[in-house]
Structure 1
């Protein structure tokens, strides 16, 4: 089974359109069409991303003798690939457009992908629902978040680990214990200083 067939089968199995997959991979819809028609091959970094999105290994994607139906257990690609079960600590949602280095996705296990209509420009944001066992994930996230203080575009990502909630901006990590209202109010006060509205702080716990 060729890579082209596997990409198409995995995309359809996840109820994704070519446009949606193209947005996540940061390529054109025509590129996805060419991959699936076996006219062109994805770059190595895109194959890694596809493996992470669909939770299959590089071997499964690249070896023609392996079909998707024959693989009983697969693991996500990238530096977060694991053998067997490993405790996943962090859980949250990352807007792909909020980071300036997509290599951060290598640290995440992506469980669901949604396109959120912004009502403006860009038309959609790509929401990646993830878990991760990367011990220094908050520090890694703080390196890649988009920041534009003058333009009021300070992006943040929120996620939790156990009973701790993390709000991470560029070079700034905030956290509070879930259920501790005083600590949460202090974090919200810091978020307001970063230009975040109260409506944007309606994150899940």
Structure 2
């Protein structure tokens, strides 16, 4: 089911007119009409409002293969998310603008979305707080990361699984065991070669 169809169904299920939904989202009625006609997509902040208004997760709204009445396991974000149920459960934060193919989002369980003001261009980054139970997730995400080697502008995503920390670039997967200083220093040195500053390597463990 497409996002446009979900918006229509959720609005009608809540006995809401386009005008009423437009008021909640602080947009025009024409914007709601365009969303429902699949002519335009809501901005990230509007998606957050839709999710809060209709009490549905970002997963349900964003993934075409999920229907509104589908029962889906959502694991708690944090250390428990890695330790609970599945051994190969990855946890991290992905900047949506850092990938060239949005279909990678289908591999994620999204728990929270934040807009980060960059102070540059683009003005905002969309931060997706996620877990993933895809065993080959590091390989999948490495195929879609943005990269400009000539300018030494290589995007990366950092995440962890259990006691292992992953730093993934375009076609490059770096990994170290949390607490192993030698392994971490090797990974940090490789990141520096790819143009990553020490400030950017202040990732959570």
| TM-score, normalised by the number of residues in structure 1 | 0.68
**Other-structure match for 2:108:** 108
- Distance in 1, Cα, partners of 2:107 & 2:72: 13
**Other-structure match for 1:75:** 72
- Distance in 1, Cα, partners of 2:185 & 2:136: 25
Q: Cα RMSD between the aligned structures?
A: 3.4
**Other-structure match for 1:126:** 126
Structure 2 contact 115–124 (Cα < 8 Å) conserved: yes
Q: How does 1:1-205 map to 2 (within 5 A)?
A: 3-4=7-8, 6=10, 33-34=32-33, 38=36, 40-41=37-38, 53-55=58-60, 58-60=66-68, 74-75=71-72, 87=86, 89-205=89-205
Gaps of 5+ in 2: 15-23, 41-46, 74-83
Structure 1 residue 52 displacement after superposition: 7.0
**Other-structure match for 1:81:** none
Structure 1 residue 58 displacement after superposition: 3.5
- Distance in 2, Cα, partners of 1:2 & 1:179: 45
Q: Secondary structure at the match of 2:149?
A: coil
Structure 1 contact 52–106 (Cα < 8 Å) conserved: no
Gaps of 5+ in 1: 10-15, 20-28, 44-48, 61-70, 77-84
Query: What is the aligned length?
Result: 164
- Distance in 1, Cα, partners of 2:190 & 2:143: 18
